[in-house]
Amino acid sequence: MLNKSEIKRILVITLSNLGDIILTTPAVEALSKEFPEASLDVMVSPVGEDIFKFHRRVSECIIYDKKATPLQKLRLFLTLRRKKYNLVVDLRNTILTLLLGAKYNTGPFKRGLKNRMHKKDVHLSWLEAIGICVSGASFHIPVENADKKYVDGLTSLLGGVPFVAVSPGAKSHVKRWPIKNFAKLSDMIRNDLGIEVILVGNEFDRIVIERILFYMKTKPLNFIEKTNVRQLACLIKKAKLLITNDSAPMHVASAVDTPVLAFFGPTDEKKYGPATKAKSKVLRKNIKCAPCEIPQCINTANKYECLKTISVNEAFVAVKELLG
């Protein structure tokens, strides 16, 4: 167990993908609360910079780019060594934890956490294991007033009409509910419920969203590439509901306490599902090979069966339930 009085400088090493990074923010919040006087640095990939550079308690947001040259990585390592951290929390689970020479660390060889615990809770359990209180630790995406004003400007086009946000992308194509289904569901929400639809996504979702727009009969607002993660948090907070695949926006919704309808196929919702369980719903099919948790579909008889067999009508019923 660590001697908390010795902790003056802390380094948190987070993950690479945006959704995974958001799942580490409760650990940062727990450390902030436990060591309010300590200097707290966070090392994160470029996609997570917007989360931590405006954080009220993060002293320095250190960017780690896996595409950097070996020399650049060596310089970064030497810089970190010179900072003489007392505590290193490595959520990547690498040998770097030991190489930095901190007296206290979470250790690079964690065992016994291969169950179906939610990933947010896995990260917190590593802190608990070294004696850090994690009670009440929650998601946190810092938002500036400028972000709120920007999103207010975007949504002013709706004239106060309620809306749902639809995020049809996902980093892996095997996690995406069919494009035509998203189009049909969005049309039903607009025509049958009188609620506007806003499509959200980043540059990697452009083709998906353009195809959905092609198939839709109604015209949603298309906010692709119009928000960073802080602005997306503001937008989703204003939404009545987020409809999404297993993706980063789903975790953003958890951070701002917005209800979620999520489609799950190859991934396990017990590990990665929306944290707002009481007000959210996961749709998945109980088939033999799901969740497989592998990057390529192995169901040769019926490719992507786990997602293709979730019907639009099922999704529409779930939307109406979540909207009350």
What rounded mean pLDDT belongs to the chain? 92
State yes or no: pLDDT of 109 exceeds 70. Answer: no
* β pairing state of 196-199 and 242-245: unpaired
How many domains in the chain?
2
User: 93-106: per-residue pLDDT in tens?
Assistant: 888 888 898 999 98
Residues 203 and 245 in one domain: yes
Tell the burial category of 268 from Cβ atoms under 10 Å away from its Cβ (0-12, 13-18, 19+). middle
Question: Within this chain, do residues 182 and 250 fall inside the same structural domain, yes or no?
Answer: yes
Residues 190 and 106 in one domain: no
Q: What angle do CA 234, 240, 245 make, to 5 degrees?
A: 80
Domain membership of residue 232 as a residue range: 145-323
229, two tokens? 């993660």
pLDDT for 294 equals 80
> What pLDDT is stored for residue 1 in this prediction?
72
Stretch among 26-40, 103-117, 164-178 having the lowest mean pLDDT: 103-117
168 & 106 share domain: no
pTM, 2 dp: 0.92
pLDDT at 300 over 80: no
pLDDT at 107: 74
- Note if the bond before 108 is cis, omega within 30 degrees: no
- Closest by Cα among 175, 246, 164 to 200: 164
Q: At what angle do helices 229-238 and 145-155 cross, to 10 degrees?
A: 50
Mean of the pLDDT values across residues 195-207?
Answer: 95
Q: What's the mean pLDDT in 167-187?
A: 94
Cα separation, 190 vs 164, whole angstroms: 10
Domain shared by 176 and 80, yes or no: no
Mean pLDDT within 178-206 = 96
pLDDT (tens digit per residue) in 74-96: 999 999 999 999 999 999 888 88
- Of 184 and 293, the structure prediction assigns the larger pLDDT to 184
From 95, 128, 161, the end of a domain falls on 128
- Indicate whether 138 belongs to any domain: no
User: 200-227: buried (b, 16+ CB within 10 Å) or exposed (e) per residue?
Assistant: bbbeebeebbeebeeebeeebbbbbebb
Comparing CA positions, the residue from 276, 320, 42, 301 lying closest to residue 164 is 320
Domain match, 86 and 156 both: no
Q: pLDDT-based confidence at 60, cuts 50/70/90?
A: very high
Greater confidence, 110 or 306?
306
One domain for residues 117 and 182: no
More confident of the two residues 4 and 293:
4
Tell me how far apart the alpha carbons of residues 19 and 45 are, in angstroms, rounded to a whole number.
12
Q: Which of 68, 102, 128 represents a domain boundary (last residue)? A: 128
Q: Which pLDDT does position 113 carry in this prediction?
A: 53
Any domain includes 304: yes
Give the dihedral of Cα atoms 29, 33, 36, 38; nearest 10 deg.
-60
Mean pLDDT, residues 121-148 taken together: 93
CATH number reported for the structural domain that contains residue 264 in this entry: 3.40.50.2000
pLDDT greater than 60 at residue 144 = yes
DSSP line for 6-69: G--EEEEE--SSHHHHHTTHHHHHHHHHH-TTSEEEEEE-GGGHHHHTT-TTEEEEEE--TTS-
pLDDT reported for residue 112: 47
pLDDT class of 25 with cuts at 50, 70, 90: very high
Instruction: Look at residues 128, 161, 192 and tell me which one is the last residue of a structural domain.
Output: 128
Residue 280 pLDDT more than 70? yes
Task: Report the pLDDT value the prediction gives residue 146, as an integer from 0 to 100.
Answer: 95
Block residue for tokens 């707002």? 276
Indicate if the pLDDT at residue 110 is higher than 80.
no
Is residue 23 within 8 A of residue 247, CB to CB? The reply is: no
CA distance 173 to 165: 20
Mean pLDDT of 118-125: 92
Within-domain flag for 158: yes
User: Residue 271: inside a domain, yes or no?
Assistant: yes
Do residues 155 and 287 both lie within one domain?
Answer: yes
Which H or E run contains 105? strand 104-105
117 and 188 part of one domain: no
